[in-house]
Structure 1
C-alpha cells in the first residue's frame, strides 16, 4: 500500500463535511440559517499539471476549510482556476493572467449570490496562488475586509520565465491609493528557502508602507502544513487564522 499523496490528506482540523453546491468553477459551502452572510473565497496554489485529478476544490483540505467556515456562519467558496505552465513567446511561462481572470469572475459570482453579504468578503490565498493577491492588494475595493496568505509564494520563481509585473504583492502594497486591507500571513518554519525569502521581502515592503500584517508562525510546519503536519501546532495555527478572518468579517 502506498502512502496517501499530500494533496489528498484532510485538513488537520477535523470538521463534519458539508456538501458543496457546485456552480461553474466555484463550490459554495453554505452555513445554516437565513439571511446574507459574509464570505471567504479560497484561492489554491500552483502551477498545477494540466492533467491534475482531482482538481483542488475536490481536495480534502479545501473541502475541510469550506466545511469549517460554513459551520462558523460564513459562506465559503473554493475556486478552481487555471494556473498552469503554458508556452509563451520566450519559452514556458506560468499563466497567471488566465488564473487571475478565473479568480475575478469567481469573486464576482460569489458577491452576486443573494446568500452573500457582498460588502463583507475575505480572500484567502495559498502557496503559488499568493501572486494572485497582488491585484486585490493594489485595487483595495471597499468590500474586501482582509487578505489571508497561507505558506504563500509572494514573488515569481526564476525558473518560470517572465511573469507579468502586476502579480507582485510586495510592490502592490506600496502603491498609493485607498488603505490596504488587513493582511494575515501564515509562515512555516520548514519552508523552502526561496519561498521564505520572498515572504520576508513582502513583510519588509508592507512594513515600510504601514500596512497592518499579522503573522501566524508555525515553527515546525512544512509547506502545506494544514494537511501534511497533523499536530496540535498546526491545528492552533489554522484556528488562529480562522478566528482572525471571522474578526475581519465581523462575525
Structure 2
C-alpha cells in the first residue's frame, strides 16, 4: 500500500458531506458521553460486561474540517443508538479528513481495531465494522484479511472500487476473505453517479450473508439531514440488522 492515495479512487470522488452540517439521523437521540482511551471514542451499553463492538468508519473530505467526524451529532447518534441496543460502539477520525490518503487511513483503522480488540472493555472476538460513503474502499483490506473476529460488516451508500489497483485488495479479494460474514448494505434510490458502479458490482456478486436496505426517494447522505419517514425506517433497520448479528434479535 505504498502507492499514491489518488490511485485508490478518482480524485473527483470527494465525499459531499460536510461534517459541520451532519445532524442526528434519528433526531432526537439521547446522546451519551463516550470514554476516550486515546485515538478513538468508546461508547458502552449500560449493562456492563464485555459487549460486542461496532467500529464506525467515516467517509472522505478534501481538507480537515472545523469539526471532526468523531465529534459530530451524526456519529455520536449512531454510536448512542448502537449502545442502546447492547453493543459497544467506536468512532475514530482517520486521514480521509485530509484528502485521499487511503493507505494512511487504512493503517489508522488497523491500529484502532487492534487497540479496541485488546481493550478489556469489549469482546474482541465479536466485532462489526460499519463503513460510510467515501470510506468504503477501506473495507477491502479489512475483508480480504479474513479475520475470524469480524462478525458483521455494514456499508451505507458506499464508494466501492471496481478496478484492480496495485497494492490494494480487489472486490473479489474482499469477497473471498469475507466468506459467510453477514453484510448490511444501505442503498439510496438517487445515488451519486460515481458511486453506482461499485455498488452494482457488489450486487452482481452478492455475498451469502447480504442484507440490502433500499431507501426509496433518498439521496446520498440521506441520514445527514432532517429525518424523513423512509430515512428513519432505513437507519433503524440497519441498526437492528447490525446489532442483531452481534447480540441477537433486538
Q: Same fold (TM over 0.5)?
A: yes
The equivalent of 2:158 in structure 1 is: 152
Q: Which has the higher contact order (CA 8 A, sep 6+)?
A: 2
Give the count of matched residue pairs: 230
Deviation of 1:164 (Å): 4.8
Counterpart-to-counterpart distance in 2, 1:59 and 1:180: 33
Larger displacement relative to structure 2 (227-236 or 37-46): 227-236
Query: 3-state DSSP class of the match of 1:186?
Result: strand
Whether 2:70 is the aligned partner of 1:64: answer no
1:147-185 CA-to-partner distances (Å, cap 9, x unmatched) read 10001000179xxxx9654253x222443x672411111
Counterpart-to-counterpart distance in 1, 2:20 and 2:66: 10
Whose strand proportion is higher, 1 or 2?
1
Structure 1 segment 190-209 matched on structure 2, within 5 A: 190-205=190-205, 207=206
The equivalent of 1:91 in structure 2 is: none
Deviation of 1:229 (Å): 4.7
1:103 pairs, out of 90, 102, 109, with 109
Asked whether the equivalents of residues 19 and 65 of structure 2 are also in contact (C-alpha less than 8 Å), the reply is no
Whether 2:185 is the aligned partner of 1:172: answer no
The equivalent of 2:56 in structure 1 is: 42
1:135 pairs, out of 112, 137, 141, with 141
The equivalent of 1:22 in structure 2 is: 36
Query: 3-state DSSP class of the match of 2:63?
Result: coil
Query: 3-state DSSP class of the match of 2:184?
Result: strand
Gaps of 5+ in 1: 87-93
Counterpart-to-counterpart distance in 2, 1:100 and 1:139: 12
1:83 pairs, out of 92, 96, 103, with 96
Asked whether the equivalents of residues 218 and 231 of structure 2 are also in contact (C-alpha less than 8 Å), the reply is yes
What is the RMSD computed on CA atoms of the aligned residues? 2.2
Counterpart-to-counterpart distance in 2, 1:154 and 1:165: 16
